[in-house]
């Protein structure tokens, strides 16, 4: 009985002492707190979004130090743009707009087009999970096909299917109308289906 009470008290204490004083704050609340001077709120935003942004960058960029640098730059630009953020607007699409602009700039500086997406390395795979050979093969083929799409179409499909954004959010991120985004996705699907059609004799 006593151990249950102590565990309960410790749990309450942990919530109270955690950065920001509570785990349920939205991204927008955290950012507002940061603008008001709460550095811990920015650290919490970092913990929430840096892993996903790293994944987004690594889809096109091989060097880990470049990936890390771009994720840091994304947050640095978020900091510099803090007075541009409109209250009531969602933060996550805003963050991804910054990240994608930085990724495009990265390639422009190198005067090259993005490389094919990075294959997941073995040490990134969970060793305790059974590997789904069929699913892995599907994923490999889709990644290869996605790499051949024009930037605009690939971005829309990646953001919707891999990052989980709704089409209105994707439209906000890429700065296009909802209908334009759906047209890009539709065209991308058509091209992807063509790439993914089984080759003759392999079906």
| Residue numbers at the binding site for other proteins (CB under 8 A) | 39, 42-43, 46-47, 50-52, 54-55, 58-59, 64, 68-69, 71-72, 75-85, 94, 97-98, 101-102, 104-105, 108-109, 120-121, 123-126, 132, 135-136, 138-139, 141-143, 146, 157, 161-162, 164, 174-176, 182, 185-186, 189, 192-193, 196
| Closest approach of other proteins to the CB of residue 107, in Å | 9
Closest CB to other proteins among 23 and 119?
119
C-beta of 29 vs 152, nearer to other proteins: 152
CB of 183 to other proteins, least distance (A): 9
Q: How far is the CB of 80 from other proteins (least distance, A)?
A: 5
Shortest spacing between CB 140 and other proteins, in angstroms? 9
Residue 84 CB, nearest approach to other proteins (Å): 5
Measure the CA–CA gap between 30 and 91, rounded to whole angstroms.
10
- CA–CA distance, 20 with 17 (Å, rounded to integer): 8
Q: How far is the CB of 58 from other proteins (least distance, A)?
A: 7
Cβ-based nearer residue to other proteins, 29 or 151: 151
Nearer to other proteins, 30 or 94 (CB): 94
| Cβ closest to other proteins, residue 14 vs residue 186 | 186
Q: Are 98 and 81 in contact (CB under 8 A)?
A: yes
Q: Name which of 12 and 141 has its Cβ closer to other proteins.
A: 141
CB-based contact 114:104 (threshold 8 Å): no
């Amino acid at each position: 009985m006593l151990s249950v009470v102590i565990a309960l008290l410790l749990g309450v204490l942990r919530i109270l002492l955690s950065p920001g004083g509570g785990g349920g704050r939205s991204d927008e609340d955290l950012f507002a707190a940061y603008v008001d001077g709460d550095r811990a709120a920015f650290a919490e935003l970092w913990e929430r979004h840096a892993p996903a942004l790293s994944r987004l960058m690594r889809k096109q960029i091989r060097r880990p130090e470049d990936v890390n640098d771009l994720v840091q730059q994304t947050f640095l630009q978020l900091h510099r743009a803090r007075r541009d953020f409109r209250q009531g607007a969602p933060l996550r699409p805003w963050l991804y707009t910054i990240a994608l602009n930085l990724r495009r700039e990265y390639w422009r500086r190198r005067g090259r087009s993005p490389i094919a997406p990075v294959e997941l390395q073995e040490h990134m795979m969970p060793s305790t999970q059974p590997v789904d050979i069929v699913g892995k093969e599907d994923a490999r083929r889709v990644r290869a096909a996605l790499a051949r799409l024009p930037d605009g179409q690939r971005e829309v499909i990646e953001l919707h299917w891999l990052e989980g954004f709704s089409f209105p959010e994707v439209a906000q991120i890429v700065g296009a109308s909802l209908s334009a985004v759906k047209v890009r996705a539709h065209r991308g699907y058509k091209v992807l289906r063509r790439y993914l059609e089984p080759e003759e004799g392999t079906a």
